[in-house]
Amino acid sequence: MAGFTPTAIELILLNAVGVFSVYIVLSGGLFAFAFVVFMGIGAYAAAILASHGHSSMLVQALTGIGIAAVSAMLLFLMVARLRGIYLGIVTVGLTAIFGALINNFPHLTGGPLGLPGVSLNVHLPALIAAVGFLCVVFAAIQHSKLGRRVKLLRTDPLVAGTLGVNVRLLSGGLFVASSVVAAFAGCLQAHYLGFVSPDSFNFTTLILFLEMAVIGGVSHWAGPIVGALVVTMIPQWLQSFQILSPVVSGAILLLTILFLPEGIVGGVLVLGRSAVIALRGEPRNGGVGTRTETR
């Protein structure tokens, strides 16, 4: 298919790693949008360590992930009581604060100019390995008891509690796990681009990754990859009509929300199921048995 240059594929995979961090929180029904902050922490940890002569990517990644995880834990202790849109507002606010911080401490972060000097050592094989690893992990989780708990938490937290799910602990776990993946994504990005800049970690980034997560869907582990693919490729496919690309992105997002609330992957699975039932010739609601009553 047109447009799938090696660079485009690398970009899709790079974005997919980031989308997994959004997927983790949204799959538990948590509107926690601090992932951009944690991506920034991962990226800036790499760049700052590199500028101080610590060139080992492993050390940089572990530092970034460690800082992100600890700050996510502290943050969760503060926001654990918040639900729904309120958690969303606080975490969007944090993204703005983070942007202000990195812009205003130039001796550490390079300020608005960003920090160069990160070694360029992330290429296609590393990205394939990273995304493949995340897919295996989340596919395994989805079909485990943990996956069932997460699904229940997303669908109905009250019922989750009465079915033995420790709602607070699981929410906190998802929040911290999301921060770990986000910091890892940030570190990969720094090593892929060779520099970090505040422009990569602002409100626009938040919207972009959220769009990818929602379009792909959060009910299946393949959602982040499909979402990253669609949203990353739209500007490539519309190269001669650049001006249309945000319009098309917006339209796809709107259509997904309206007609495929479980995202493209979840929607395709449901439609596929209906198609199988139709092909077998079973009536959609008949065959349900002798005990059919009306509401």
Partner 1 sequence: MTLLSVREASKHFGALRAVNEVSFDLEPGEICGLVGPNGSGKTTLVNVITGVLSPTGGSVGIAGVESSQLRSHAIARLGVSRTFQLIRLLRFSSVRENVRMGLLPVPSKLPLRSWVQPAALGADRRRRSALVDEAIERLDLEHVSSRLVRELPFGLERRVELARALVSKPQLLILDEPAAGVTAADMRDLNRIIQEESSRGCGVLLVDHNLRFVLDTCPRLVVMNFGQLIYDGTSAAAVDEPRVREAYVGT
Q: Which two tokens stand for residue 134?
A: 């995340």
- Write the interaction track for partner 1 spanning residues 44-73; mark x where CB under 8 A is met and - where it is not: ------------------------------
CB distance 191 to 121 below 8 Å: yes
User: Considering the rule CB under 8 A, would residue 151 count as an interface residue with partner 1?
Assistant: yes
CB distance 61 to 17 below 8 Å: no
State residue 81 phi and psi, 5-degree precision: -80, -15
The 3-class secondary structure across 40-89, one letter per residue, is HHHHHHHHHHHHCCCCCHHHHHHHHHHHHHHHHHHHHHHHCCCCHHHHHH
Pick the binder of partner 1 from 148, 193, 195, 236 (CB under 8 A).
148
User: Considering the rule CB under 8 A, would residue 161 count as an interface residue with partner 1?
Assistant: yes
Stretch that binds partner 1, among 76-84, 101-109, 123-131, 165-173 (CB under 8 A): 165-173
Cα separation, 34 vs 64, whole angstroms: 15
Please state the closest distance from residue 150 (CB atom) to partner 1, in A.
11
User: Considering the rule CB under 8 A, would residue 155 count as an interface residue with partner 1?
Assistant: yes
- Write the interaction track for partner 1 spanning residues 240-279; mark x where CB under 8 A is met and - where it is not: ----------------------x---x---x--x------
Q: Identify the burial level of 198 via C-beta atoms within 10 angstroms of its C-beta, where 0-12 means exposed, 13-18 middle and 19 or more buried.
A: buried
Please state the closest distance from residue 289 (CB atom) to partner 1, in A.
5
Show contacts with partner 1 in window 170-229 (CB under 8 A).
219
Quick check: helix, strand or coil at residue 13?
helix
User: Considering the rule CB under 8 A, would residue 291 count as an interface residue with partner 1?
Assistant: yes
User: Considering the rule CB under 8 A, would residue 152 count as an interface residue with partner 1?
Assistant: yes
* Residues found near partner 1 in the complex (CB under 8 A): 145, 148-149, 151-152, 155-156, 158-168, 219, 262, 266, 270, 273, 284-285, 287-289, 291-295
